[in-house]
Structure 1
Amino acid sequence: MATATAEPADTLATLTADSLKRELRSDRPPILINVLDAEAYQARRIPGSINVPTDNIAVVEEIVPDREAPVVVYCANADCTASPEAARTLQEMGYRNVRDFEDGLQGWRAAGYDLIGNAAS
């Protein structure tokens, strides 16, 4: 009897800055969530993102009731653990289309894209 092999629970879908930029310009852009604290969000963020800190990620249920909606989370950079933690929590909450922009703010800027915020220049 053949058995299906599930992906490991710690496998998260990710995307590049260029892919994210294309998707943000598409007809169905993802909900882009900065999971850093409010102060960091006000300082620097990707345009179009909303702020839901990792320790308050459950509030996404009120903001995004559709569990099939495309959601992308990000934090500061590839070493930051906040966005993968938030993505896993969202998956556990039943969200089925969650990805982590693992390069975060640093990767967005390195790809040549602008950030906004009171310390973005």
Structure 2
Amino acid sequence: MLPLVKRDELRKEMEAGNVTVVDTMPADYYAREHLPGALNIPGFPYEDAARFTDELAGGLLPDPAVPIVVYCANVPCRNSELVGARLVELGYTDVRKYREGIEDWVRGELPTESSGP
């Protein structure tokens, strides 16, 4: 299980530029709405999470020592745990999870971005 981070701590780290945030939702969900500056490594379908992580991590996250926070939709969502665990297996040394996900972020009335039309 990955170490957890709460909304306020994550927001402060993002504002300070001290963390790389990884959205683990499917690409179309990511395009509609994601945390500001978040990168996308899809963790769904679950059976493809490791392959997506293997294919994308090196290009998106070239420094395995950078602090990373993964998130998905909400507490029941498994995407972030699958992607985060695979990042650890690949040698990333500081991976945490925002378990409450984007639903909690939006509930906290914090800004989001979209990359879709």
Q: Does TM, scored on the shorter chain, surpass 0.5? A: yes
Aligned residues: 108
Q: Which runs of 5+ in 1 are unaligned?
A: 1-10
Instruction: Please report the TM-score for the alignment, with normalisation by the length of structure 1.
Output: 0.82
- Choose which of 67, 70, 83 in structure 2 pairs with 1:70: 67
Larger radius of gyration: 1
* Residue in structure 1 matched with residue 53 of structure 2 by the alignment: 57
* Residue in structure 1 matched with residue 106 of structure 2 by the alignment: 109
Tell me which stretches of 4 or more aligned residues in structure 1 moved more than 3 Å.
Answer: none
Report the 3-state secondary structure (helix = DSSP H, G, I; strand = E; otherwise coil) of the residue aligned with 1:48.
coil
Q: 1:116 to 1:94 in 2, by over 3 A?
A: same
Q: Which runs of 5+ in 2 are unaligned?
A: 44-48
- The structure richer in helix per residue is 2
Q: 1:68 to 1:40 in 2, by over 3 A?
A: same
- Choose which of 4, 11, 14 in structure 1 pairs with 2:4: 14
Superposition CA RMSD, Å: 1.6
CA distance in 2, matches of 1:65, 1:35: 17
Structure 1 stretch 29-38 or stretch 110-119: which is displaced more? 110-119
CA distance in 2, matches of 1:41, 1:62: 18
Contact 1:18–1:111 (Cα < 8 Å) also in 2: no
Q: 1:117: Cα distance to partner?
A: 2.2
CA distance in 1, matches of 2:26, 2:61: 19
* Residue in structure 2 matched with residue 44 of structure 1 by the alignment: 33
